[in-house]
Structures are given as structure tokens and as C-alpha cells.
């Protein structure tokens, strides 16, 4: 299926949103719950499939939806369609502070493998499927990277990354990265998870037990603040807030 040719504008700096302009009859698919606002004439429908195969049977749709559940995403994908006679806009916001990365899938080989929380939205015709890492141990011992998502198509897709985004081009090279800092990579890049070092480094080094190894030729997108690190950084403040709230409540009840 030929993807719809959607126009867009990214708004904001550290907490961004992407505004999609749809011609009459055009559709954009998005992660459930990511819509921020939409203009009149845009109708939305929550569906099991991504719409890349219009004649797909119910069994295949259920298998596709089940694959999304395995990646930690919603069972459904929301389709936003401009059913009016003039251009209309719909906007999608990122789930946490970071950057929205626009991608022209034909320019990167029509395919991209991303972490399970990276997909934001894409033109109708983009296929979203499950991608299993070839090395089973990468997921079992590394905790991340076993179940990934694969985006295939010939249109525009948008992914989200936490903090600052770095784009690296590998030319038959190897790069070792914190497992949570990988946003996505193109075909030709081999992904594996290996021990971070000796036992002392693993326990006291503060870099975690494992590192991801990216090897080969292709493009890699990295994020400086994955959601896991953001939660860890904010957790002490949440504990203090709960303690302060409990103290105030106890004082009020005395």
C-alpha cells in the first residue's frame, strides 16, 4: 500500500508536539492516547490493525495486535482521517520530555527497528510489526531489546526519544551503549547485549550489568534520557513528597 503523503510541523523544544496537516481523505495512524488536539472534519477510529493491509483478515489483525501487547504498547492503533473538503490539522504530543524525530522511511531503506516505546505516529500505509532480536539471550539477560517494533513503509513516520537525540552513522563499526539509550536502528546494524565488564565494574560501576553492542553499517538513533533514567532521577523527590504529605495529614488528624 502506498503511504499517504502527510505534511507536518514540529512545535516546541524540550517537550515537543508534532502537528500533522491532512488533505481531504488522508489518514495518519498514532499510538493510542497521544492525540493533543484536532480541527473540525477530522474523525478518529480505534482499530486493531495499522491499516497497511486493507484486506487483512481478523485473525491477522488479532495476531498483529497481540504482538503490540508483547512490546508493552496498546492493543489498538488510532486512525485519524480528514473527512472534510479542506486541509485540516491534528497534533500529537510526546509522552515525556525529549525530541520528536521525523523519518522519511524510503530514505533509510523503507524499514526501521525501534524500542517498544518509541513509535508516536505515521502516515497510513506504514506497517507496525513485532521484531524479535535474533539473540534470545539479549532480552533475557539484558532486560531490554528482546522484543522490539519494526516500522515498514514508503512514507513519513515519527518516533520519540527522551532528552537529546544523537544520530550516529556506523560504517562497519562497533558502538557500545547503555541498553535503554537506543531509540532505533536501520537494517545492517546487528544488536546484542553483553556483560558490562568484570564483576567489580558490574556491581560498583554504576553503568548497570549489561551494555548493548551495535555492530555493522547503518544509522543509529540514541537518546540521552530514556524513561527509565528519568523515573530513577525523580523517584527520590516523589518519596519526599509522599513523606511530607503524610506528615501534613497526620498533623491535621491530631
pLDDT per residue, tens digit, the chain (254 aa), is: 788 889 999 999 888 999 999 999 999 999 888 999 999 999 999 887 777 765 555 545 555 544 545 545 556 789 999 999 999 999 999 888 899 999 999 999 999 999 888 999 999 999 988 876 655 444 444 444 456 889 999 999 999 999 999 999 999 999 999 888 999 999 899 988 876 655 554 454 445 567 889 999 999 999 998 877 667 666 666 666 555 555 544 554 45
pLDDT at res. 5: 86
Residue 139 has a pLDDT of 46
pLDDT of res. 32: 86
Q: What is the pLDDT of residue 96?
A: 84
Q: Report pLDDT for 14.
A: 81
Q: Where are the domains of the chain?
A: 7-235
pLDDT of residue 221: 97
- Domain 7-235 classified CATH 3.20.20.70? no
- Quick one: which of 16, 168, 182, 220 has its CA closest to 100? 16
pTM: 0.79
Amino acid at each position: 500500500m502506498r503511504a499517504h503523503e502527510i505534511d507536518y510541523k514540529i512545535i516546541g523544544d524540550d517537550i515537543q508536539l508534532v502537528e500533522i496537516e491532512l488533505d481531504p481523505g488522508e489518514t495518519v495512524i498514532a499510538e493510542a492516547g497521544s492525540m493533543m488536539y484536532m480541527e473540525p472534519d477530522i474523525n478518529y477510529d480505534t482499530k486493531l490493525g495499522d491499516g497497511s493491509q486493507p484486506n487483512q483478515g481478523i485473525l491477522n489483525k488479532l495476531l498483529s495486535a497481540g504482538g503490540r501487547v508483547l512490546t508493552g504498547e496498546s492493543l489498538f492503533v488510532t486512525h485519524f482521517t480528514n473527512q472534510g473538503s479542506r486541509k485540516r490539522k491534528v497534533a500529537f504530543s510526546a509522552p515525556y520530555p525529549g525530541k520528536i524525530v521525523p523519518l522519511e522511511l524510503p530514505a533509510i531503506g523503507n524499514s526501521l527497528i525501534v524500542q517498544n516505546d518509541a513509535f508516536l505516529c505515521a502516515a497510513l500505509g506504514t506497517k507496525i510489526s513485532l521484531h524479535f532480536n535474533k539473540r534470545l539471550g539479549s532480552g533475557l539477560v539484558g532486560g531490554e531489546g528482546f522484543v522490539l517494533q519494526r516500522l515498514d513503509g514508503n512514507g513519513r513516520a515519527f518516533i520519540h526519544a527522551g532528552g537529546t537525540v544523537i544520530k550516529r552513522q556506523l560504517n562497519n563499526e562497533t558502538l557500545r551503549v547503555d541498553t535503554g539509550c537506543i531509540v532505533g536502528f536501520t537494517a545492517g546494524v546487528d544488536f546484542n547485549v553483553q556483560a558490562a565488564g568484570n564483576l567489580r565494574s558490574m556491581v560498583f560501576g554504576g553503568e548497570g550489568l549489561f551494555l548493548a553492542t551495535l555492530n555493522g553499517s547503518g544509522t543509529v538513533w540514541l537518546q540521552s534520557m530514556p524513561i527509565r533514567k528519568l523515573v530513577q532521577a525523580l523517584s527520590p523527590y516523589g518519596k519526599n513528597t509522599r513523606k511530607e504529605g503524610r506528615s501534613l495529614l497526620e498533623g491535621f488528624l491530631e
